[in-house]
């Protein structure tokens, strides 16, 4: 599957001597005054739109359909307290691994190449809530397993934070914020706050599902700002970054299956998806 070959992508990016994240302090602070707080990267590093690569990893929730398609089932802590992955393979055996998910892969890589990470920054993990988080069914509030699931999820969350990972909201139900009604967005956001923010803590980052967005100055946008979100990520084909006094808007390049199969040329400055796609993977 695709993810096995992520190290190749990471190495390609590393070789281009570009920096992985500009601004971990800003993203962690939740401060409203954005324009004065951007720390400067070392001058020998070039910063360009690739910052968005290292940016968010969406939907690290391990939805049921993902396990069926060969994704890992959840993130766990190994006996040393490090992040690893847990899955059950088709033979029914439990597998604990470090080379089949972006987080442990990146951690292993940074151990060898510490300069890949500016100021110790890692990526942003964008979570929904409707199927729990990180492989734990924290959405099943009345389940007898709820406390156990919640506590295990919290341990993983805390370790990720210690390591430098940041969290973002990806909405509760992965709804298209542009299409849904105001009241639906309110309900969705409340539920996200109750079930997800209660575990990961407050975050100023909102990553629109489907790469969509809501109009600036709309009721929905004002509502999201009132709820503490000041950094909004969408998806776009070209670099886009707008920094206001009160909020940041940024488009991301989507490095996903769609781009790998149908938009290879848009990724060529980083890597050739033909070289990265696993030949064992069935044609899309």
Of residues 58 and 195, the one with the C-beta less far from Zn ion: 58
Residue 58 binds to Zn ion (criterion: CB under 5 A): yes
CA distance 235 to 101: 22
Tell me, letter by letter, the H, E, C secondary structure of 150-215: HHHHHHHHHHHHHHCCEEEECCCCCCCCCCCCHHHHHHHHHHHHHHHHHHHCCCCEEECHHHCCCC
Out of 55, 129, 204, 209, which residue is the one contacting Zn ion (CB under 5 A)?
209
Distances (CA, A) of 75 to 1, 123, 138, 156: 18, 15, 14, 7
Of 134, 1, 157, 3, nearest to 60 by C-alpha is 134
Stretch that binds Zn ion, among 16-24, 80-88, 202-210, 241-249 (CB under 5 A): 202-210
Site string for Zn ion, 80-109 (x = CB under 5 A): ------------------------------
Treating both helix axes as pointing N-terminal to C-terminal, what angle do 6-15 and 102-112 enclose, rounded to 10 degrees?
Answer: 40
Cβ 185 to Zn ion shortest distance, Å: 16
What minimum distance in Å lies between the beta carbon of 220 and Zn ion? Answer: 18
Residue with tokens 């951007």: 38
CB nearer Zn ion, residue 59 or residue 140: 59
Number of residues that bind Zn ion (CB under 5 A): 3
59 touching Zn ion, by CB under 5 A: yes
**Distance between CA atoms of residues 19 and 53, nearest Å:** 10
Closer to Zn ion at the Cβ: 7 or 211? Answer: 211
Phi, psi of 232 (to 5 degrees): -120, 125
Smallest gap from residue 160 Cβ to Zn ion (A) = 18
Stretch that binds Zn ion, among 42-50, 89-97, 184-192, 205-213 (CB under 5 A): 205-213
**55 near Zn ion, rule: CB under 5 A:** no
String of contacts with Zn ion for each residue 10-49, x by CB under 5 A: ----------------------------------------
Residue 261: strand, helix, or coil: helix
- In this chain, which stretch among 35-43, 59-67, 161-169, 227-235 interacts with Zn ion, using CB under 5 A? 59-67
Position closest to Zn ion via CB: 58
- Are the beta carbons of 180 and 189 closer than 8 angstroms? no
> Using CB under 5 A as the criterion, which residues of the chain lie in contact with Zn ion when the complex forms?
58-59, 209
């Amino acid at each position: 599957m695709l993810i096995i070959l992520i190290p190749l992508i990471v190495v390609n990016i590393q070789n281009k001597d570009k920096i992985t994240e500009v601004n971990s302090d800003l993203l962690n602070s939740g401060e409203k005054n954005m324009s004065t707080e951007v720390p400067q990267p070392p001058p020998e590093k070039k910063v360009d739109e690739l910052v968005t690569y290292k940016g968010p990893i969406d939907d690290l929730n391990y939805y049921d359909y993902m396990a069926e398609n060969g994704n890992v089932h959840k993130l766990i802590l190994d006996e040393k307290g490090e992040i690893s992955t847990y899955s059950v393979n088709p033979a029914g055996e439990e597998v604990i691994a470090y080379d089949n998910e972006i987080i442990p892969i990146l951690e292993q890589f940074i151990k060898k190449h510490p300069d890949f990470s500016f100021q110790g920054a890692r990526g942003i993990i964008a979570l929904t809530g409707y199927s729990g988080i990180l492989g734990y069914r924290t959405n099943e509030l009345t389940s007898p397993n709820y406390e156990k699931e919640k506590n295990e999820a919290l341990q993983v969350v805390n370790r990720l934070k210690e390591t430098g990972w940041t969290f973002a909201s990806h909405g509760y139900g992965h709804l298209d914020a542009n299409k849904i009604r105001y009241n639906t967005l309110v309900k969705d956001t409340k539920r996200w706050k109750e079930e997800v923010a209660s575990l990961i803590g407050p975050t100023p980052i909102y990553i629109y599902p489907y790469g969509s967005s809501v109009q600036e100055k709309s009721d929905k946008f004002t509502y999201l700002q009132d709820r503490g979100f000041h950094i909004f990520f969408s998806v776009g084909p070209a670099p886009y970054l707008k920094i206001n006094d009160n909020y940041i808007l940024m488009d991301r390049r989507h490095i996903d299956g769609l781009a790998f199969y149908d938009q290879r040329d848009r990724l060529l400055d980083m890597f050739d998806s033909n070289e990265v796609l696993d030949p064992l993977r069935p044609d899309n």
